Structure 1
């Protein structure tokens, strides 16, 4: 199935998308409550997140619990201790965080550091594709879209949605990316929320409303 936009992004009317975002992040005007997942974007209990961009930390494992996943104890030991250096090298090789829309080359080469990092994470017993993408999105939130079964159904993608999202963001002079930036501002979201998270939340919330 080809990539498809969530219905809320397939229309030029911003109201459906803004409604979904405000239900997730809370309404900046009315101060209505937010979903638990809203804490994921800015979570930094140790105040060292900027210094830890190339190292998975216990704070990262806590942050992803706001997105309804958890890393089992043994997998956490592998992630934080046994293979910490290897995974840190892959994060460093992936490079600094940057907007996915700016990636000129297709992300189809299995040797690309992003795919090798995801494969390495998935090789750890107890870490599946959904958890792996949330961990990478924690470290590179502008670059890695979150994948889960709900988003996959809404967008028509499966476990390889990274490249279809990149292509969609770049079409029509980056129109989708610019729309996400606009919605971010219109919803009054914090700087910690990236355009990719705006996309993810709209797709996920729409899918949950469909009963998925």
Structure 2
């Protein structure tokens, strides 16, 4: 797929400004957006002491990204399926970046029979009665636990990545990171030049750039639509 232009090599300055704005912009209470704390809350989801368990702090961190984990899901994740989830997390590399997964490794690490897909299905309750965790919430939980390896899927970023649903999400992200066009190096440069969020992964920086860009596009479209309506009224 063709990446959005904001991630092209000649758009590094624009991308880093989006990252800086995401992590430093404050509201009327002089507070930064809660999403800026997603990676670092309570030491981070991949902290060695908690990397192989989903904790209450992980579910709190997920709420910083404007989603809520329903009560039945929280109980299921923290209690009912706790041991099964921990066993699967032990099989998912915590220190492997998605860009460094070889084509030969992809199936074992993120393919249909992988521990990652099995964990995804537990979070979604794909084989049972649903408990209210959709593809966006599931991706944010997994990205919290494996920030180097698992990208976030949401309604803003997905269309920019050419995705209609989450079915091929990991393959799509892996494809653009490993296609030899230098995206991982650009993400590193964007991150370093921004001077913010030292603990953010390359995937998180990519997500922030695309999310901010998508929000800008939506705002521009909305403004243009309002202007068109006003012009039509004036012409009546």
Tell which deviates more after alignment, 51-60 or 181-190: 181-190
Q: Number of aligned residue pairs: give it.
A: 205
- In the alignment, is residue 102 of structure 1 matched against residue 132 of structure 2? no
What's the counterpart of residue 63 of structure 2? 65
Larger radius of gyration: 2
Q: Distance in 2 between matches of 1:187 and 1:46?
A: 21
Q: What are the superposed Cα offsets for residues 45-99 of structure 1, whole Å, 9 maximum, x if unpaired?
A: 7999430100000000100111001111111000000010011111111132321
Superposition deviation, residue 132 in structure 1: 0.6
**Equivalent residues of 1:97, 1:141 under 8 A apart:** no
The 5 Å alignment of 1:116-195 reads 116-123=118-125, 125-157=131-163, 158-159=165-166, 160-172=168-180, 175-195=182-202
RMSD in angstroms over aligned alpha carbons? 2.2
Q: Distance in 1 between matches of 2:20 and 2:51?
A: 29
Aligned equivalent of 1:206, options 207, 213, 235: 213
Q: What are the superposed Cα offsets for residues 152-176 of structure 1, whole Å, 9 maximum, x if unpaired?
A: 111112312111111111122x610
TM-score using structure 1 length: 0.89
TM-score using structure 2 length: 0.80
Query: Which runs of no fewer than 5 residues in structure 1 stay unpaired?
Result: none
**Equivalent residues of 2:143, 2:149 under 8 A apart:** yes
Q: What are the superposed Cα offsets for residues 103-157 of structure 1, whole Å, 9 maximum, x if unpaired?
A: 1133463101111111111115111111111001101000001001111111112
